Amino acid sequence: MTDTDKQSYTVVRLNKENLSDLARLHLAVYGKAVSPDFFPKKYNTAFTGVEYVGVIAYNDQQEPVGFYGVIPCFVNYNGKKYLAAQSADTMTHPKHRYKGLFVDLSNQTFALCRDSGIHLVFGFPNQHSYHGAVNKLGWQQTDTMSFFIIPVNASLLARLGNRYGFLQKTYKAYCRWVLKNFILDEKGVQNSSISDGYGGVCRDGDYLEYKTYSPTMVINISGVKVWLSLRHYLMIGDMEGVTDANFSEVMNGLKRIASRFGKTQIQFHCSTGTRLHDLFASHFPVQPSYPVLFQDFGSPVPKEKIKFTFADIDIF
């Protein structure tokens, strides 16, 4: 391929041998390293029958300078499973931006999708890639997810332990002690969107095992299963068993846990029209979140009938 500056690139499909180049490119793009097993686990989607759906661009010195990849998964709609994929990592080396790599690599990955039997790709672009996705690549938007922020009066000592690296060992032991009466030996929860009658990501045992590439946990609060992540804030991925009657009790319990962890906020993202959206919107202010975009290569699943929670996004 050739960019507008006439510099040549070699494009190679993602495979086991070049996975380590994603970590090199990530470091160049974001200035921080990821664990050596992060990308190998993230792109190991053999449970779907399709894996390594993405392409890497190399310059003349064989340095990785661009990548676009999708993550195969199954979407459940009306009780049937359909092979789909989530748009995942888009990375361009700072020295090789504005040369057409994003569009070229996207189109080559879409061709891989078609060849692999993936007829529906969904994505949640940020403000930097939205314009190019819609105007240059023809992504279609069906929704804008909603974002809920619940302030928490966090414990000062816990906030210090959460912030400073030299206290991390003690802080993690403290967190395990706090959670000992809440944590469940489960890797995720059922998809609330599917329970509402919509289409959604199929979270069977294989998928939940795959999702362990990112550290999350399931806890029991007042009989409700909450799938959450404890990074900068307490991030809710999804909930199972929550109702109008117990919602306030569950959220108050989560606030107490967040406070003891030193988290100043609880955050949740979800699609409009779902029961969880209605519950959160009736108690907390609503802000616009991720746009929901699709590439449809002849899928029988209607795009507007598919809903998501934060647990379905690759960064959870």
**Does pLDDT of 3 surpass 50?**
no
Is there a domain that residue 151 lies in?
Answer: yes
CB 83 within 8 A of CB 118: yes
Q: pLDDT of 190-217, one tens digit each? A: 999 999 999 999 999 999 999 999 999 9
The rounded distance, in Å, linking the Cα atoms of 79 and 81 is 7
Mean pLDDT of 13-18: 96
**250 domain-assigned:** yes
Whether residues 162 and 305 share a domain: the answer is yes
The residue range of the domain holding 248 is 146-289+301-312
Pairing of β 120-123 and β 80-92:
parallel
Q: Which residues contact 187 (CB under 8 A, 6 or more apart)?
A: 208, 209, 211, 212, 216, 218
Helix axes 101-115, 130-137, angle to 10 degrees: 60
Q: Are residues 100 and 242 in the same domain?
A: no
pLDDT of residue 2: 44
| 219 and 96 assigned to the same domain | no
pTM score > 0.75 for this model?
A: yes
Query: Residue 134 falls within a domain, yes or no?
Result: no
Give yes or no for residue 81 having a pLDDT over 70.
yes
Largest Cα separation within the chain, whole Å, is 63
Q: What DSSP designation does 47 have?
A: G
pLDDT band at 28 (very low <50, low <70, confident <90, very high): very high
**Which tokens go with 276?**
């969880």
Q: How many CB atoms lie within 10 A of CB 1?
A: 15
Tell me how many domains the chain contains: 2
Tokens of 315: 């960064």
pLDDT of residue 158: 58
Is the domain of 82 the same as that of 160? no
Neighbours of 63 (CB within 10 A): 15
Report, as an integer, the average pLDDT of 115-140: 93
Q: Is 30 exposed, middle or buried (0-12, 13-18, 19+ CB in 10 A)?
A: exposed
Would residue 132 count as lying in a domain? no
Report yes or no: 112 and 79 within 8 Å, Cβ to Cβ.
no
Same domain for 114 and 152: no
CA-CA-CA-CA torsion sign (312, 158, 27, 98): positive
Residue 24 has pLDDT above 60, yes or no: yes
Run of H or E residues at 5: none
Mean pLDDT of 42-50: 96
pLDDT in tens, 250-273: 999 999 999 988 899 999 999 999
Are 156 and 270 within one domain? yes
Look up the CATH number of the domain holding residue 272. Answer: 3.40.630
Residues 82, 211 within the same domain? no
Taken as a whole, the chain contains a residue count of 316
